[in-house]
Amino acid sequence: MTNPISDIEKADVILVTGSNTTETHPVISAAVKRAAKFGGKELIVVDPREITLKKYASLKASPNPGGDVAWINGMIRVILEEGLEATSYIEERTEGFDAMREAVAPFTPEHVEELTGIPAETLKKMARLYAGAEKGTILYCMGITQHTKGTDNVKALANLAMVCGNLGIEGGGVNPLRGQNNVQGACDMGGLPDVYPGYRKVHLEEHAQAMEKAWGVSDLSRKPGCTATDMVDKALDGSLKALYIIGENPLVSEADLNHTEKGFGSLDFLVVQDIFLTETAQMADVVLPALCFAEKDGTFNNTERRVQRVRKAVEGPKDVPTDWEIVCEIASRMGSSMAYKNSEAIFDEMAAITPAFSGISWSRIEKEGLHWPCPTPDHPGTPILHVDRFAKGKGTFHALSWTPPAEVTDNDYPLILTTGRVLYHYHTGTMTRKSDGLNERSPECFVEMSRSDAASLGLKDGEMAKVASRRGGIKARVKVSERMHQGTVFIPFHFAEAAANRLTNAQLDPVSKIPEFKVCAVTVCKG
């Protein structure tokens, strides 16, 4: 996030897209609803479903899944055509504007309506409302990123924010809502295949040498590693022999699960470290224990880049070491001595080797967390990024074109499936589906569809149906809903016994390598 969560209620206009915020980020959703209902703020919600947040919206739109670049480009075109852009901001703080202007020119409101289903007049109103605000913030989630054009979708939102001068200001920004409690922290600490902690690229010699010196090693690889999706393919072709998974359940969460299961079955050795015997752990050669968040000390870096202390509240199972102790022991047995006194010592090393964290210490975040970057001990942290200048100097506009999703409907697979979460369950249900109360509220998988689609298929609310894609099939209970528009169905991905990801398409965004979870073609019939 470029801005803190508290800035949501300081914005004049809030644009939410690709995020069912009420069910996936309920605390942040409460801030959005307060701003719209009691704060006099304008809310624009763009999502294929009639999600709860649309009840609070000044304007809402329901694009066909996969149409994001088209409608965002269309908004920018309207803004430029009507002279609503932030001219001085664009001239002083950005580059690449002319190429971007040329790229959005074909996206007339009428053409956008053809591509996305958003009425031309609605698009114009959205553009005028967002551009007319003194301060506008954008919130997005995996409905934007989980596409073969996910990277372009994010760049398009950045274009929109810069055109209106909404980056680097209080109440503005482009703000991704992180899907799990320490996704931000894992990325910050180098949990990506091409970076060291602090997003320093592994292929750059100065970064590699700095890390070699800090860690007292030599010959660190300058070659980026594999993404999670790459690993499945490499396991299948035999070039990846072993896999060590900590706190992840890919045999429910990965796209095209049949393909993923074949990949994991091709491994020589699989190790899973987790708090429960997940579907992935059941396939492992070795299962290692883990402690939950309340059983250990450490830090989380939350969605707004705030580094926060986590304190041990209860004792874990007897004789179970912490995650870091297990990792250190394995490393030491493999010949790379790794020893720390405690979690604070690990944090001290993190701050010492990561420039954006250099000013953060255990004592400084004893009572309240700090936003990175925080480069010196007297620095107050950075709640808002890009205030005076962008990190790279000038903000770059990107000239983006729109292409259809990797998979479109046909006579055999006439419906578009999009996936997501429900309020009562979390990710693959590793913890939430072990709660009786939550299971009472959401006991099983369902396929949500419009009344017209259900009628045309001869399906009734509450009966079982078969859902199939080109990759596999599941059974789910029919949920006839006014939230769905004709031609699109929704399935939550929490339920291993009816895993939505048996259906989803593993085609990847070429940059981020994320699969297209949010769009695939399916057929539904009585089950």
Are 257 and 312 in a shared domain?
A: no
- Model confidence pLDDT, tens digit, residues 199-222: 999 999 999 999 999 998 989 999
Measured CA to CA, the distance from residue 504 to residue 257 in angstroms comes to 8
The backbone region for 441, taken as left when phi is positive above 0, alpha when psi lies in -120 to 50, beta otherwise, is: alpha
Residues 139 and 269 grouped into a single domain = no
The count of domains in the chain is: 4
Helices and strands, number each (H, E), in the chain: 18, 23
Do residues 355 and 473 both lie within one domain? Answer: no
Q: Are residues 104 and 79 in the same domain?
A: yes
Q: Is residue 403 one of the residues assigned to a domain? A: no
Q: Of 374, 405, 425, at which residue does a domain stop?
A: 374
Q: Place 176 in a pLDDT band, splitting at 50, 70 and 90.
A: very high
E strand intervals along 422-486: 446-449, 464-468, 473-480
pLDDT for 435-467, tens place per residue?
999 999 999 999 999 999 999 999 999 999 999
CATH no. for residue 104? 3.40.228.10
In a domain, 405, yes or no: no
Phi then psi for 397, rounded to 5 degrees? -75, 145
Domain that holds residue 281: 226-288
- Give me the DSSP letters along 198-240: TTEETTSHHHHHHHHHHHT------S----HHHHHHHHHHTS-
The predicted structure's pLDDT at residue 426: 87
- Same domain, residue pair 210 and 341: yes
Are residue 171 and residue 192 in the same domain, yes or no?
no
Look up residue 432 and give its two tokens: 């939430």
Q: Looking at the DSSP assignment, which residues form a beta bridge with residue 480?
A: 449
Average pLDDT, the chain: 95
Interval 114-171: pLDDT, tens? 999 999 999 999 999 999 999 999 999 999 999 999 999 999 999 999 999 999 999 9
- Are 196 and 150 found together in one domain? no
pLDDT confidence tier of residue 10, bands split at 50, 70 and 90: very high
Tokens, residue 445: 């998988």
Q: How far apart are CA 435 and CA 494, in angstroms?
A: 14
pLDDT (0 to 100) of residue 178 = 87
Q: Are residues 27 and 137 in the same domain?
A: yes
Does residue 488 fall inside a structural domain? yes
| Domain final position from 374, 398, 433 | 374
Residues 193 and 298 in one domain: yes
The H or E element spanning position 498 is none
Tell whether 196 and 305 lie within a shared domain.
yes
**410 inside domain:** no
- Do 284 and 328 fall into the same domain? no
* Domain boundary residue, one of 261, 288, 315: 288
Residues counted in the chain: 527
- 181 pLDDT exceeds 80? no
Question: What gap in Å lies between CA 517 and CA 98, rounded to an integer?
Answer: 33
Residue 409 located in a structural domain: no
Residues 308 and 438 in one domain: no
pLDDT at residue 158 in the model: 98
